[in-house]
Amino acid sequence: MKNIFTFFSSEKFYLPIIYIVIGIILYNIIITIITKTSKIKLKTNKKEIEQRKITIINLIKSIIKYVIAIFTILAILGVYGVNTNKILASLGIVGLVVGLAFQDIIKDLLAGIFIIFDNQYTLGDIVSINGFKGEVISLGLKTTKLKAYTGEILSLNNSSFTEVINYSQSLNRYILQISVSYDTNLAKLEKVLDKTIVKLKQIKEVRNEIQLLGVEELSSSSIVYSILFECLPQAQFQTKRQMLKIIKEELDKNKIEIPYNKLDVYLKERKNEK
C-alpha cells in the first residue's frame, strides 16, 4: 500500500496527467481561434474556393494536433528519465532534411494558401501574371493555370510570382472613338450621340454611365469624338462591336457622314504624236 501511495503522489504519476490536460486545453484554445477566424467570409461565393478554404483549415488543425501530441509525449518521456534531447535532435535533423528536399513544394503550398486567403484572384478571374494575361482556369495549392484569350494555357508555380494584376475585381474602362466628316454640324451630332447613348446603355455588359467626352482630335480628314464606357472584364471587344453597330445605324439615319479614304484620280489627255 505504501508503494502504491508513493507512486500516486510522485511526479511520475501526476505530471503526465498535467501535461496531457495542458495539451488538450491548448489544442482546444487554438482550434477555437481558428474556427472563429474561418467563419469570416471570403470575398467570393464560389463553391470551389470555400471548399478549398475548408480543406486548408482542416489541414492546419491536423498539424496543430500532431505538434501538440508530439511535445506532450516528449514531456512525459522526460518525466520518466528518457533523454529527449537526442529525440529532438533526431527530429530536427529529419525535419531539416525534409525541409531542404521539399522547400520549393513548401513555398508553393504556402503561396497557394496566401493567394486563397488574401483573395488575390479566384477561378474565372481575368489576371495578368508575369506579363501573361488570361482567365484563371485552375487554382491549386501548388500551381495556377491561366488561359489566354487566344487559347494558350500557362501553368505557374504559386511561389514563382509576387505581383498580380486582377482585372475582375473592378470594372474595366475603355474609350471608343468615332470619326465624322468636317462638314458635320457638331450641335446636331452631339444631340444624336446623346440619344444613341441611351441605346448603348441597354447592352448587358455595360455598367454605370456612358460619357460623351467630346472632341478628341482634329485629324487630317475627320473630327474624332470620344465616348467613355465601363464594362465587365474581357467583354470589351464584344461590347465595342455592339456599340459601333448601333452608332453606325444612328449616324446613317441622321445622314451624318463617316469619312473614309478617298483617292482622286486625274486623267490628262495626251495628244497623239505625229
Domains of the chain: 2-101 (1.10.287), 120-166 (2.30.30.60), 172-253 (3.30.70.100)
Q: Greater confidence, 271 or 27?
A: 27
Residue 274 has pLDDT above 50, yes or no: no
Mean pLDDT (the chain) is: 78
Q: Is the pTM of this model over 0.85?
A: no
Distance between CA atoms of residues 23 and 71, nearest Å: 9
Top mean-pLDDT range of 60-64, 92-96, 252-256 = 252-256
Residue 262 has pLDDT above 70, yes or no: no
The pLDDT of 242-268, averaged and rounded, is: 78
pLDDT (0 to 100) of residue 154 = 92
| CA torsion through residues 116, 120, 126, 127, sign | negative
pLDDT (0 to 100) of residue 153 = 92
The letter for the amino acid at 225 is Y
Give 97-109 pLDDT, tens digit per residue. 656 656 777 787 7
Q: Which of 210, 248, 260 is nearest to 231 (CA)?
A: 210
